[in-house]
Amino acid sequence: MDECCADSMLGNEQYRFAGAAAQVLQAFARSTAHSRNCKRYSFRTLSLRYTVHMAEHKTLRERVLERFFAVPSVAQLWARRLAKQQLLLPDSAIPFAPFTVPLHAASAALITTGGIHLSSQTPFDMENPDGDPTYREIPGDAAPQAIAITHKYYDHRDADADLNVIFPLTHFRELVGRGVLGALAPRHFGFMGHIDAQQVDVLRRRSAPEVAAKLRADGVDFAFLTPA
């Protein structure tokens, strides 16, 4: 029986399935772990450091809460509480498999919870306080100029100036060109990381399994996660 890896890192501590993209990786792991004929997959999610600041057009309540959750100790406690609520496996175990495919022969996909989508696609819902559990497919050949960010729960001004801060598509293309990486998947996936309450169930039961199945269909060997 194949085993797969779905790690999620927040700060210097590890939390199980604390984010939307980690839910996708866990769904992939769960589906492939019970398939005798599937390849061995290892998904390691690498976090980017970010600072939470105020974005424009926020209510007073949103500004106060954002400052409150920007306190590191508060953010750590919140992440632990949320992680406990979002365990997917009955035994709370994380399926794991060593990454054995040579990097120069591996196919990679990008998954971000930074609110990435094509300018031509419907933006993520910023009105629902429980977030938006849907996802957006980003074609592998998409031009950076065609990609937008819709997410009011983190300061993405740096990412607006340089998309690679949150969605390093250009850098990964360069790695493929230099032969460091084997290939890029034909599509990548953007989520909105702020998902809570009943929307988490939609993420678990619909969005995460759909994206996991697409990753398998595309022959992806590993996913690079950029949470926000």
158-177, pLDDT tens digit by residue? 899 999 999 999 999 999 99
The pLDDT of residue 121: 96
Higher-pLDDT residue of 91 and 36 is 91
Question: Alpha-carbon distance 52 to 67, whole Å?
Answer: 8
Is residue 13 predicted with pLDDT exceeding 80? no
The pLDDT of residue 12: 31
pLDDT in tens, 37-47: 444 333 333 33
The pLDDT of residue 120: 95
pLDDT in tens, 196-217: 888 888 998 899 999 999 999 9
Report the SS3 class of residue 146.
helix
Is residue 54 predicted with pLDDT exceeding 90? no
Amino acid identity, residue 189? F
- For residue 226, give the H/E element and its range: strand 222-226
Beta-bridge mates of residue 224: 110
Q: What are phi and psi of 114, to 5 degrees?
A: -90, 15
Please state which of the ranges 64-78, 156-170, 181-195 shows the lowest mean pLDDT. Answer: 64-78
Higher-pLDDT residue of 14 and 92 is 92
Q: Taking a C-beta distance cutoff of 8 angstroms, is the pair 193, 5 a contact?
A: no
Please state which of the ranges 18-27, 121-130, 203-212, 219-228 shows the lowest mean pLDDT. Answer: 18-27
Is residue 27 predicted with pLDDT exceeding 90? no
pLDDT in tens, 106-160: 999 999 999 999 999 999 998 888 889 999 999 999 999 999 999 988 888 889 9
pLDDT in tens, 74-100: 777 877 776 666 555 455 566 666 788
The pLDDT of residue 11: 33
Structure pTM?
A: 0.69
Tokens of 113: 């919870």
Is residue 103 predicted with pLDDT exceeding 70? yes
